[in-house]
Amino acid sequence: MSPLTQFDVLALRREFPILQQEVNGHRLAFLDSGASSQKPRVVIDCLEDYYRRFNANVHRGVYKLSEEATFAFERARGKVARFVGAASHREIVFVRNTTEAINLVAYSWGGANLGPGDRILLTLMEHHSNIVPWQMLAERTGAHLDYIGLDGEGRLALEELDTKLSERTKLVALTQQSNVLGTINPVRLIAERAHAVGAKVLVDGAQSVPHMPVAVKELGCDFLAFSGHKMCGPTGIGVLWAKRELLEAMPPFLGGGSMIKLVELDHSTYADVPTRFEAGTPAIGEAIALGEAIDFLSGVGMAAIHHYECELLAYALDRLSEVGGLTIYGPSTPVERGAAISFTLDGVHPHDVAAILDSEGVAVRAGHHCTQPLHHHLDVPATTRASFYIYNLAEEVDRLAVGLEKARKLFA
């Protein structure tokens, strides 16, 4: 067991079948969990079990299989609610992913609450998922977008709140943790400032909910969006949490089956929340398997996960500082950031860096990571990103560093 270990990480790794393989003749070092995490056996088995034993549509059938599916689906909603400290399971809307959750809020809440001259405050470090839906909303409503800038180490320039937050600001939408810089933002403080001018706060939790304890009451936000596939769950399932009174006042996003009370030829009435926002057949097995992923993560303990990743991150920042020609973006102090490290290597294109690492069995991501405005601000077209999760090891950090040295020598 590594000295970093708060839990038995080697035993935990064995729960992830995909990590047992070799890639290009090397044991796989998967350092791209920021894009999508790997899945433990219990989650894979859970999905299979659903399709093998009780696959049926939910909320409709009066037969045993459908009742069983409905029970498991709604039980998963309860697990999600407890996981983020929601006041009720009714505050949990199942969507496909973070992107859909944010679009739902932009379309439904935004369409009903924003008008010409209103302002939406974002930050320069947002993922495109937390920019483009607001641009589309601004185009439809005549609202304007403002952005909080960054300091030299990729922290939010909080002093800009003084000028950029006003009574015209209707929404502040920000990520809790940057997928590129790793920066963890002071959401609670920003939420207090936003509420003081009457604005609502949406938190993009895609990179935080999988990695640290997140409780909506402590964040002080109004909406929280996250994706199952980044937290050991399947793809195709994500979550929007919203305060119940907000959800109840929001018009539907998509229309169709399930989300109605009564349909007549010329109009319909809508179901209560959260069903009002879940038109059509949902991702049933995926929601149930997300519940299993939550059980798995809770079993390890979110505080222990965060602690372990902080130690791994500190080790990685230290180890990578030995690699010549490497520029690391984001805060240099580990406590200010999560375990995603983006960097450039002098004289080597990020895609070449990733290709060389891949030849060593180290999987990292290269590109703009869906943050073009941030990369524009950093004045680089692309970066390479290594992102860590509970199953990564200090020795994988070493292999990353060795691979980077190799890339540097090859391109020298």
Q: CA-CA distances (angstroms) from residue 403 to 22, 33, 64, 101, 182? A: 16, 19, 55, 38, 22
Residue type, 353: V
Element (H, E) at 361: none
> Is residue 129 a contact residue for ligand PLP (CB under 6 A)?
yes
Smallest distance, ligand PLP to C-beta of residue 145, A? 17
> Is residue 227 a contact residue for ligand PLP (CB under 6 A)?
yes
Smallest distance, ligand PLP to C-beta of residue 368, A? 12
Q: Choose one: 92-100, 312-320, 327-335, 392-400; the region binding ligand PLP (CB under 6 A).
A: 92-100
Please, are residues 201 and 220 in contact by the beta-carbon 8 Å criterion? yes
Smallest distance, ligand PLP to C-beta of residue 375, A? 14
> Is residue 37 a contact residue for ligand PLP (CB under 6 A)?
no
Q: Choose one: 91-99, 142-150, 244-252, 318-326; the region binding ligand PLP (CB under 6 A).
A: 91-99
**d(C-alpha 28, C-alpha 30), whole Å:** 6
> Is residue 97 a contact residue for ligand PLP (CB under 6 A)?
yes
**Which string of x and - marks every residue 376-405 that binds ligand PLP (by CB under 6 A)?**
------------------------------
Maximal CA-CA distance, the chain: 71
Please, are residues 243 and 91 in contact by the beta-carbon 8 Å criterion? yes
Residue type, 278: E
Smallest distance, ligand PLP to C-beta of residue 218, A? 19
**Which of 33, 38, 70, 99: binder of ligand PLP (CB under 6 A)?**
99
**Beta carbon nearer to ligand PLP, 70 or 97:** 97
> Is residue 179 a contact residue for ligand PLP (CB under 6 A)?
yes
Smallest distance, ligand PLP to C-beta of residue 187, A? 13
> Is residue 206 a contact residue for ligand PLP (CB under 6 A)?
yes
DSSP letters spanning 267-332: -EEEPPTTGGG--SS--HHHHHHHHHHHHHHHHH-HHHHHHHHHHHHHHHHHHHTTSTTEEE-S-S
**Which of 33, 98, 141, 169: binder of ligand PLP (CB under 6 A)?**
98
**Which of 37, 108, 123, 175: binder of ligand PLP (CB under 6 A)?**
175
**d(C-alpha 385, C-alpha 35), whole Å:** 10
The structure tokens 């949490």 sit at 241
**d(C-alpha 374, C-alpha 181), whole Å:** 9
**Beta carbon nearer to ligand PLP, 179 or 392:** 179
**What contacts 16, CB < 8 A, 6 or more positions away?**
38, 39, 40, 41, 391
**Which of 169, 207, 342, 383: binder of ligand PLP (CB under 6 A)?**
207
Q: How many residues bind ligand PLP (CB under 6 A)?
A: 13
**d(C-alpha 97, C-alpha 369), whole Å:** 16
Smallest distance, ligand PLP to C-beta of residue 39, A? 15
Sheet containing 92-95: order of strands: 92-95, 238-242, 223-227, 200-204, 169-175, 119-123, 144-148
Determine what percent of the chain falls in helix, strand and coil, rounding each to the nearest 5.
Answer: 45, 20, 35
> Is residue 127 a contact residue for ligand PLP (CB under 6 A)?
yes
Residues 335-374 that bind ligand PLP (CB under 6 A): none
> Is residue 183 a contact residue for ligand PLP (CB under 6 A)?
no
Residue type, 33: S
Q: Choose one: 126-134, 310-318, 384-392, 395-403; the region binding ligand PLP (CB under 6 A).
A: 126-134
* Structure-derived torsion over alpha carbons of residues 282, 283, 289, 291, reported in degrees to the nearest 10: -30
Active site residue 370: yes
Smallest distance, ligand PLP to C-beta of residue 346, A? 26
Q: Choose one: 52-60, 94-102, 148-156, 357-365; the region binding ligand PLP (CB under 6 A).
A: 94-102
Q: Which residues of 50-85 are buried (b: 16+ CB within 10 A; e: fewer)?
A: beeebebbbbeeeeeebebbbebbeebbebbbebbe
Catalytic sites, residue numbers: 370
Instruction: Provide the binding-site residues for ligand PLP, judged by CB under 6 A.
Output: 35, 97-99, 127, 129-130, 175, 179, 204, 206-207, 227
